[in-house]
Structure 1
Amino acid sequence: MGEPPPYPQIEPTTFDLIAVGTGLAECIVAAAASASGKTVLHLDTNPFYGSHYSSLSVPELTSFLISNSTASSPPSSTSTTTDIPDYSIVNLTTQPVYSDVEISCFYPELLEENLRKFNLDLCGPRVLFCADKSIDLMLKSGASNYVEFKSIDASFVGDENGKLWNVPDSRAAIFKDKSLTLMEKNQLMRFFKLVQGHLDATVAAGSSGNDGIGNGNDEEEGKTKISDEDLERPFVEYLSKMRLPPKIRSIILYAIAMADYDQDDMGVCQNLLKTKDGIDRLALYQSSVGRFTNASGALIYPIYGQGELPQAFSRRSAVKGCIHVLRMPVTALLMEKDSGSYKGVRLASGQDIFSQKLVLDPSFTLASPSASPSDLLHESFNFLSTRDVKGKVARGICITRNSLKPDTSNLLVVYPPRSLYPEQITSIRALQISGNLAVCPLGMFVLYLSALCDDAIQGKRLLNAAMNALLTFPDSVNSESSSTVQSENTEEKPSVIWSGLYIQEMSTVLHGQFDSINFAPMPDGNLNYNDILDAALKLFQEMYPNEEKFPETTPPENSEDDIELTLET
């Protein structure tokens, strides 16, 4: 008997949509298209789901980072099953989306014993707010049936002395917080009450059909609603206007509203938060606290890691007939010679598959088109060969033997700008996840760190500063920055078993000239997925403007119960 072919033949050969790459955005688009009755083929070169949003073992993550840090071409087609003289073959290649990958192992024997017991997130740190868009979308789409969550136990703000201060994010938390003075508690309570009053007044105005300014019949509404002038001013200015002290302003801006850049420095702040946006972020945080009875705080995390989310949407699309094929590289695009329009893809098997629409993993780009292409093909080629890169994010992963807080397993730490060293212009976020979330062996912990940056030097300095504030490295690998911050309890800091640092490019959705070829976005620097979801749903709507997103799975009134939030007993 002859050897079986290396790649399976796919039947049928024509689809409404082909998605290449199983990142979160591609999986959402594929699931939405499948729910709308479209025929969908979902391909991925990798042997796992998730692409740049996956959760991987230590060897898999190391291999993925290294392989995606250099430009490469997919394997050549083994054969050509169809001869299509009217089409131009445009070869695909991949661009590096990771750089400056730095892997360190300090206890090889200990790591070797548990090497494949880790599910490490490529796009961490990442959480979901209990009331954010991703939860609503999972409920509406039915993807919530395929993923479980646990609550993040607590959030902290770190300072230059190595201390971690509780984030008082609710009335009960404010009363219990021993680090706040009575005056600070009163100030924070008054501000949260003001925000809630504004939100209530806005909802009341919207339900009554007026413009939200107040009609003179409700004096209380006029007192509680924040003025339009204040809503348009920088949030940091409004907090100062409310006479909140620097400590409280910092907590609100960076640990609750999750601002990235130093809001006090207009010269370096690349994203100045307006009051209206800050209030929206506070509203999301406050509405997340207590939404689910078995989630203690505002934040939750999926059991087995963030890679469960793209898989949940993939399972949803499979139920609706989507065909998934892993380990299947796409080597080229089929472009019509006369019009330059997209027609299909060529697989590494040599098979040609046709579709009306195409969504590509963000690492793909086009190699040179075939000889003497049409002007239209050249124009499309030039557009599709340029990615819209929107900066960089430095990411770090550390495996430790102890928790940052002895009595807390899963926690978030935020270092506001300037909190670790004077040149720190962005927030640094660190998320600790424990073995009770099935991402590592029991008794170990995974710490994810991230910070927006302009280049690798700046990014690595940001991560090293936070790591030295939180952790102990056996060989003092980060001693060059350890003088920046010293903990009062250095001997109590967790010891690092393994670490990985890398710089990731961020890119947004790109649309093809003929609205047929589209690129999915890379993971952004945010803590949640809201912007990525917005991009994915906008992409779907532009591709299929007459289709409703997940029309047949409207959640019931008690839809919150559909998400299982399993808490540690």
Structure 2
Amino acid sequence: MTEAYPQIDPTTFDLIIVGTGLPESLIAAAASAAGKSVLHLDPNPFYGSHFASLGPDELSAFLSSSSFPPSSSSGEDPATVSLTTRPLYSNVEISSLAPETLEEHARKFNLDVAGPRVLFCADRAIDAILKWSTNHYLEFKAIDANFICVENGKLMRVPDSRSAIFKDKNLSLIEKNQLMKFLKIVQRHLDPDEDASSKVSQEDLESPFAEFLAKIKLPPKIKSIIMYSIAMADHDQDVEACKNILKTKDGIDRLALFQSSVGRFPNSPGALIYPSYGQGELPQAFCRRAAVKRCLYVLRMPVVALLIDEENGQYRGIRLASGQDLFSPKLILDPSFVFPSQAGSSPEEPVHVFSEKAVEAKVARGICITRSSLKPDISNLLVVYPPRSLYPEQDITVRVLQLGSTSAICPPGMFVLYLSALCNDATQGKKLLNTAISAIEVSQISERNAGVKNEDAEVEPPFIIWKAIFIQELSAGKYGSICSTPSPDGNLNYHDLVDAAEKLFHATYPDEAFFPETASPENADEDNCPEDDGPLEEA
């Protein structure tokens, strides 16, 4: 039976966007606010594309369908170029140890495709949400604690304020004083009223951050906390062959972001927050913002071909699976689409790559549904396993984000763990994640059996009841007449993604502001969206 597709009217737009991921949704909202006529399509039946939050069955189906290239539907028409997709995911492994429990609560899960990911309270994404009044469509929950793995696999809580440093029982008095001294150095450097002689020298700013921390004689434990749990370095910074050296300037900037995030919102005493109902709420919020400005949305609408001007070979429009042709001078595709070399560029209009970050690497992602929290009485927390904390050859940081039912992403009594690590290949990536998962399971068994004699110990149900591990390709965005957005990156935050979306928007519309500041969005009440009771009312 042939699927019935709706006819779209009008047929000509200033901009057509395919895919409703976060970068595409940001651009759609910005272009609509600039008065452009925008058509926003998605072949999926849900918003968010590679940034969506889905149930376990939906997630499994999405990863599987995106793991192999679809058959081409290229025709003989010389005025069209077949538009195909490439697999973004590979080595997908999904297992369920309690299928009946999962089936009973299936509708209560919102699992992020591109987790783990959080927002720093003072980062660009939050500034954009507040500036563009998108917070009317969102709620947020605080990440209650931040932990780092130290010696013997122990998870140590990361102190995020002066008072927390002095209350921390894991740090000696000497270590506390050393950490406070370092934070004062950073504070003086960032203070615009301080004399240049009291700031970090230009030579030190250009040096590796690890060398600067060693120069001021910080002990290994403090160095690890600063480098991997606050500055969020991905690679081992203490080896000569470090793949991505973090400079002191960038390290200090990241510390400044962390410090300015702590306590920015009264309902979030820490530095990190997470959107209720999953990160898929973020692109949906910007789509709703765009819809207020008359952006037209159509889901379940595959695009099968590009329309090409036979005289100059340039892009003219798209052909839908319905057979309808639509026209626009500009087209933006999500990262799963193959960028066609036959169209969209010419000697007069070359295709530019605006980001080259980490395109050689991949990111290993894992999702676990668990029966209990990693830490009693803490629902939402972040754990960092720095290089060499899991095994001697580990040279990549592994991050684990735990979220509970307070974030509306799982039923009460269950938790979701998101894991990620950059990797060169699937073998390395899976080893990193599986070793971290094993360490987590061992710590849970030890905690449950603490103080219980072997003969009295009961057989416990499995800690993990559902697990997915997969490898995601990383790709940079491109722009010309046809643009493509970057794939979800390996970062914990959204900074680079927001930056990439802004660059792509300015490449498409150089004379337009990337979303001018505005009052509350028009007709916001008509959307019947929840009011913001999260931490987006500044103190």
Bigger Cα displacement from structure 2, 224-233 vs 251-260: 224-233
Q: CA-to-partner distance for each residue in 1:325-356, whole Å, 9 max, x for gaps? A: 00000000011122111110000010000001
Match for residue 187 of structure 1?
Answer: 178
One of 18, 21, 38 as aligned partner of 1:20: 18
- Aligned partner (choices 473, 494, 509) of residue 505 of structure 1: 473
1:172: Cα distance to partner? 1.5
Q: Is the 8 A contact 1:149 1:302 kept in 2?
A: yes
Which among 126, 130, 136 is matched to residue 117 of structure 2?
126
**What is the distance in 2 between the residues matched to 1:257 and 1:542?**
30
SS at match of 2:152: coil
Are residues 1:225 and 2:199 paired?
A: yes
Contact 2:74 2:305 in 1 (8 A): no
Q: Indicate the residue corresponding to 1:346 in structure 2.
A: 319
> What is the root-mean-square deviation in Å for CA atoms of aligned residues?
2.8
Task: Say whether the 8 Å CA contact 1:469–1:487 is kept in structure 2.
Answer: no
Q: Any idea what SS the aligned residue of 2:510 has?
A: coil
Q: Does structure 1 conserve the Cα–Cα contact (< 8 Å) formed by 2:44 and 2:300? A: yes
Q: CA deviation at 1:266?
A: 2.2
SS in structure 2 at match of 1:507: coil
Write out the 4+ residue segments of structure 1 that deviate beyond 6 Å after TM superposition.
Answer: 74-77, 379-383
* Pair 1:236 & 2:198 matched: no
- 1:410 alignment partner in structure 2: 380
Of 255, 271, 287, 1:282 maps to 255
Q: Structure 1: how far apart are the matches of 2:403 and 2:21?
A: 22
Residues 161 and 486, structure 1, Cα contact 8 Å, conserved in 2? no
Gaps of 5+ in 1: 205-219, 473-484, 556-561
Q: Alpha-carbon deviation of 1:159? A: 3.3
Report the CA distance shift for 1:176/1:326 in structure 2 as closer, same or farther (over 3 A): same
Contact 2:314 2:344 (8 Å CA) reproduced = no
Instruction: Give the distance between the partners of 1:565 and 1:115, measured in 2 at CA.
Output: 25
Asked if the contact 1:288–1:297 (Cα under 8 Å) also holds between the matched residues in 2, the reply is yes
In structure 2, distance between residues paired with 1:235 and 1:31: 38
Which secondary structure state, in structure 2, belongs to the residue aligned with residue 14 of structure 1? coil
Q: 25, 28, 31: which one pairs with 1:30?
A: 28
Could you give the per-residue CA deviations for residues 204-236 of structure 1, whole angstroms, max 9, x where no partner exists?
A: 3xxxxxxxxxxxxxxx62453111111111000
Q: CA deviation at 1:368?
A: 9.1
* Kept after mapping to 2: 8 A contact 1:127/1:528: yes
| Corresponding residue for residue 107 of structure 1 | 98
DSSP-derived class of the 1:344 partner: strand
Question: Cα distance 1:245–1:486, how it changes in 2: closer, same or farther (>3 A)?
Answer: farther
Among 484, 499, 513, the residue aligned to 1:519: 484
- TM-score by length of structure 1 reads 0.85
What secondary structure is seen at the aligned counterpart in 2 of 1:409? coil
Q: 1:318 to 1:75 in 2, by over 3 A?
A: farther
Are residues 1:438 and 2:412 paired?
Answer: no
Cα pair 1:340 1:380 within 8 Å, conserved: no
Give CA deviations for 1:391-448 in whole Å, capped at 9, x if unaligned: 1000000000000001211000000001110111010000000011100001100000
Taking a change above 3 Å as real, the CA distance of residues 243 and 288 of structure 1, as seen in their structure-2 partners, is same
1:565 aligns with 2:538: no
Residue 164 of structure 2: aligned partner: 173
Give the match's secondary structure for 2:273. strand
1:314-329 alignment to 2 at 5 Å?
314-329=287-302
Contact between 2:369 and 2:466, CA under 8 Å: does it hold in 1? yes
User: Is the CA contact 1:75–1:329 (under 8 Å) kept in the aligned structure 2?
Assistant: no
Secondary structure of the residue that 1:261 maps to in structure 2? coil
- Distance in 1 (CA, whole Å) between partners of 2:248 and 2:344 is 51
* Structure 2 letter corresponding to 1:461: K
In structure 2, distance between residues paired with 1:542 and 1:366: 17
The one of 367, 380, 391 equivalent to 2:361 is 391
CA distance in 2, matches of 1:105, 1:529: 30
Alpha-carbon distance in structure 1 between the residues aligned to 2:244 and 2:341: 37
What is the distance in 2 between the residues matched to 1:225 and 1:382?
38
- Is residue 521–residue 535 contact of structure 1 (8 Å, CA) maintained in 2? yes
Structure 2: which amino acid aligns with 1:96? P
Amino acid at match of 2:496: D
Select the residue among 489, 510, 515 that pairs with 1:545: 510
SS of equivalent to 1:93: coil
> After alignment, is 498-507 or 388-397 more displaced?
388-397
How many residue pairs match? The answer is 514
Measured after TM superposition, the shift of residue 508 of structure 1 is 1.0
Distance 1:75 1:314 in 2: 29
Matching residue's letter, 2:132 = S
TM-aligned CA distance change 1:414 to 1:343, over 3 Å: same
Does residue 198 in structure 1 map to residue 189 in structure 2?
yes
8 Å Cα contact 1:91/1:366 also seen in 2: no
User: Structure 1 residues 319 and 374, CA, compared in 2 at 3 Å: closer, same or farther?
Assistant: closer
Partner residue, 1:64: 62
Aligned equivalents of 1:259, 1:166: Cα separation in 2: 18
Aligned partners of 2:40 and 2:298 also within 8 Å = yes
Corresponding residue SS for 1:179: coil
> Is residue 246 of structure 2 the alignment partner of residue 273 of structure 1?
yes
Residue 72 to residue 154, structure 1, CA distance change in 2 (3 Å): same
Aligned to 1:360: 333
For residues 29-82 of structure 1, give each alpha carbon's deviation from its aligned partner in whole angstroms, at most 9, with x where no partner exists.
Answer: 1110000000000000000000000000000000000110001147789xx9xx
Deviation per CA, 1:274-309: give whole Å up to 9, x if none: 000000000000000011111110000000000000
Give the match for residue 83 of structure 2.
Answer: 92
SS in 1 for 2:141: strand
